[in-house]
Chain A
Amino acid sequence: MSKRMYSPKAMWLWIALSTIVIIAGVVLYALFGFNVSASEYRTIEVGYDSVVSIEKLEEDLRSHCEKSFASAGISQNSEQSYYEVDVNYLQDTGTTLVTYFFSADTPEAGIRSAVSAIESAVASDAKFANADVTVEYRNVKNEPMYEAIWRGAIGVAVGVVVALVYIGFRFGWDGAITGLIVGVHDALLTLALLAITRIPVYAYAPLLFAAVAAMLGLLLWMIRKAKMREDFKDPAYSALSAEEAVEESCRNSYKTVLCFAVPLAVALIVLGAVATAGVRMFMLPALIPLAVSVYSSLLLAPAVYAPLKAKFDRFKTRHKRYFGKKKAAAEEE
């Protein structure tokens, strides 16, 4: 890490960079929102009774559907089978519903023609003569639940502030203020990057990732601050300016940050690579809060902390001098 990275100039550079990304994220969020999975989509629902299951015609039906999609020039994102249950005991009734999910921008004409094609294919297939097959087409819009969002945001904010009070007592208030800046910055930058990159995520994921970013940012900043606290006890550091001391201490502690971040990144990539698409859609975007917190703990936090430390050091010196003079005067008297 070069000296320039933690100078006041560098601090403004990192702040400007983050601010630009956050503003871009806010604008894109206002225009398009997050690319929340299936916030709006279309479905074709193919329902069938137990005759289809008993005569093992599911594959034939699936094949009719897939051929119809191909002939209509549309392709589904995913499919899900649902089994009808009775209201009282939740036992299967024998009716199955296979839902094919399409993105909201799939042409309506294509969907309609696929529905007609499935209906005519089933009607003309003698194997389905005794079966009851229904085909329906739906436009679906997800209704976000806001209570979870505002309660979550308040929960994380309260948690971070109380943790920072603890950090303030243990590590000093300059460290706590830096931690607060890092926590807020990481949460906002994560949300901004999710809005900018338009990575598809689960509806609850943006809030969760913002919380993870705030926690990780705080954790990684504490790792660096703990190392600084240890280093600053060394008499060699007392001769250095705040900026130099921070720079000197940060020269080695970035390895500890990476020691935490790299295994976590590897774990997320392994999970994303090995697990199913649903898990991948959560684990790979989780790299964003990790990357953001690594960026802030390596670059932004020390750059913000250095001038804060300088100010707090000056304040402490003045404070000491003032009380020193007072003490001396009292002793003289």
Chain B
Amino acid sequence: MGKVKSAIVLTVITLVIAVLCVVCFVPFPTDSEGVSFFNPILNWTQKSSELGGYQYGGNAAYLGGGYTAVLYPEGVLSKKEYEANLAGKETEAEKQEYAEDYLPYANGALYLERDVACEKGSDRVSEEFDSGFRKNVEILKQRFEGLRENGTKLEVCDDYSVRIQLSSTMSAPSVALLYFSYLGDFTVKYGSSYEDATQAIPAENSDKPLSDYVKSSSVRTLNGVIYVVIHFTSEGRDIISEVTSGAADSAITMYFSVGDQAVINLSVSDQIVDGDLYISGSYTDTTAGIVATVIDSSIASTALGGESVEMNLGEIYRMPAATDSGSGLSALMLFYIAIGGCMLLSAAFFLIRYRRLGFAAIYSMLCYVILMVLCMYAIPVEIGLGTALAFLLCGVLLGACNAVAFEYARKEYAVGKTIVSSVKTGYRKCFWHIFDLHIALAIVAVLTYLIATAELASFALVMTLGVLISGVCTLVFNRFFWFIMMPLSKNAGKFCHYKREEVEDDE
């Protein structure tokens, strides 16, 4: 390539990279008052709770990293609720009566209703209540784990309450908290109102288990409409068909309930004859998944038998962005500074070791960072600590592979080859090494992503992206940048900081 052509191409590429850098990383005001800001793509990517939550709207404000709520079993009150109820009693006698009904538990953090949670005439928690609560914890764990969302946490507080933490990147967290708190047996009722509805499944006055009527529940998407599907057995289908036989004449409502809560109200105007009942509504993927999970786990837990205790959802709280107490800077800002520092160190290494050839490595590193941010935004992938580690690993892999390619070319140049031949031979010699490294890592990362869940799945996904982008950057971009930058220098050896081996003169 000629010097002029090379300069033009390099200028164009530099401009493209600069524009992409601005679009990806630099916020700037778009009006003179500084009211509106251009929001770079990096700001739109999802962030985990450790890095300060996610971008809310266009005002560059980070909302909290997650939502948290406490679930109390029926018969258990928080101190706050107990005190509020007590304060609501008008007379001292009423207050005393109310206080006698409750047992302060765990240093007064919880109040247990004696009739519900305690053994008769004793301050001891009944075994029935205890086992019912333990069963609930297992069901809740199963439900929340089934979300496969990063940052989901379940904690037992003071033995008899459950605290849930959800990532703010999850859509519809309140739906998950509310619906997942519904515990109890799955029933199907029909009638004009929920209170007066007649139970259809399981058939009343029948000893048959629920599994004889309903198999499971799932989510299906057909022609862009998301459905919650309830799979009935032939016996269940017959009952539903019979119940809805008169629906064509007068519409009825069916109530699909978990415990005392109706999770689906279905207006039926035709007889249902299929075993798989497709129910549409204003569901999103997540909300349909939540409803199906609740029904499915309720069917499974009903089959297991045993008593379960109903749960009530307490207040929901959101967590704000994490900040460093020393500097006051947000975790995310410090994280960006640290990543920027690492990139500067890498750039310094390449510039010192390879002089102007270092710019080829810097350009390919910038391409890697830009492509990663674009991919993480488009897919989307949550930026968390695990994904940051994957990003770093692949960044270092890219840097190391670039250095390996430069070193192979250096060896070729040292033995007397021209720079063009050195680059060609160097790349030819190290191509399969670099290719094998990337392929093997990509295989591990892809399979881990397909099988694992939560943080490890996110790590593996970013690892897959990073390995692929690193491979392209080192084998294609890096060589291309080298190719267009080299003609700008008269002395190619000096440009790359390569030296010929000194040959001893025999004479």
Contacts and interface: CB of A to CB of B under 8 A. Distances in A.
Interface of A: 47, 80-88, 90, 92, 95, 97, 108, 112, 115, 134, 136-143, 145, 147-148, 151-152, 154-156, 158-160, 162-163, 166-167, 170-171, 202-204, 207-208, 211-212, 214-216, 218-219, 222-223, 226, 230, 256, 259-260, 263-264, 266-268, 270-271, 273-279, 282-283, 286
Given A82-B318, A274-B338, A275-B335, A87 B178 contact: yes
A143 B335 contact: no
A83 B393 CA distance: 36
A170 B455 CA distance: 31
Nearest to A142: B155
B497 interface: no
A39 B226 CA distance: 38
Interface string B422-448: 000000010011001101110111111
B72 interface: no
B15 interface: no
B345 interface: yes
Contact of A218 (B154, B319, B342, B440): B440
Considering the complex of A and B, which 7 residue pairs feature the smallest CB-CB distances, nearest first? Answer: A155-B451, A82-B317, A159-B447, A159-B444, A155-B452, A274-B338, A155-B448
Contacts of B50: 278-279, 282
B136 to A, nearest CB: 12
A278 B403 CA distance: 32
B346 A226 contact: no
Contacts of A211: 448, 452, 456, 459-460
Nearest to A141: B156
B126 interface: no
Given A82-B317, A138-B106, A166-B440, 18 more contacts: A83-B320, A84-B316, A84-B317, A87-B177, A90-B318, A140-B155, A142-B154, A142-B155, A156-B452, A212-B459, A215-B444, A222-B436, A222-B437, A267-B395, A271-B338, A273-B338, A276-B322, A282-B50
A283 B452 contact: no
B385 A264 contact: no
29 contacts: A82-B64, A84-B316, A136-B80, A137-B109, A138-B158, A140-B155, A140-B163, A141-B156, A142-B155, A145-B454, A151-B453, A158-B451, A159-B445, A162-B444, A162-B447, A163-B440, A163-B444, A166-B439, A170-B436, A203-B153, A208-B455, A211-B452, A215-B445, A230-B429, A263-B345, A263-B349, A266-B342, A274-B337, A275-B334
A5 to B, nearest CB: 23
B109 A155 contact: no
Interface stretch (B137-145, B259-267, B290-298): B137-145
A112 B109 CA distance: 11
B84 to A, nearest CB: 9
A279 B454 CA distance: 18
Interface residues of B, number: 89
A143 B454 contact: no
Contacts of A214: 444
Interface string B359-389: 0000000000000000000000000011011
Contacts of A270: 338, 341-342, 345
B315 interface: yes
A158 B460 CA distance: 13
Contacts, number: 253
A271 B177 CA distance: 35
Contact of A275 (B106, B338, B392): B338
B277 to A, nearest CB: 28
B444 A156 contact: yes
Given A136-B109, A140-B156, A211-B448, A90 B316 contact: yes
Contacts of B335: 271, 275-276, 279
Given A137-B109, A259-B403, A282-B50, A87 B316 contact: yes
A162 B446 CA distance: 11
Nearest to B320: A81
Contacts of A112: 107
A83 B395 CA distance: 37
B331 interface: yes
Contacts of B158: 138-139
A148 B444 contact: no
B242 interface: no
A326 to B, nearest CB: 33
B313 interface: yes
Nearest to B69: A87
Contact of A263 (B78, B109, B178, B399): B399
Nearest to A171: B436
Contacts of B173: 90
A275 B50 CA distance: 11
Contacts of A260: 396-397, 400
B319 A215 contact: no
B488 interface: no
Interface string B77-90: 01110010000000
B287 interface: no
Given A155-B456, A275-B338, A278-B322, A267 B396 contact: yes
B342 A259 contact: no
Contact of B315 (A80, A95, A207): A95
A90, A137, A170, A215 — which one has the most chain B CB atoms within 10 A of its CB?
Answer: A215
A148 B455 CA distance: 9
B23 to A, nearest CB: 25
A215 B463 contact: yes
Contacts of B389: 208, 212, 282-283, 286
Contact of A279 (B79, B144, B334, B439): B334
A260 B317 CA distance: 44
Given A141-B156, A155-B450, A222-B436, A88 B397 contact: no
B384 to A, nearest CB: 9
A148 B318 CA distance: 24
Contacts of B157: 138-141
B324 interface: yes
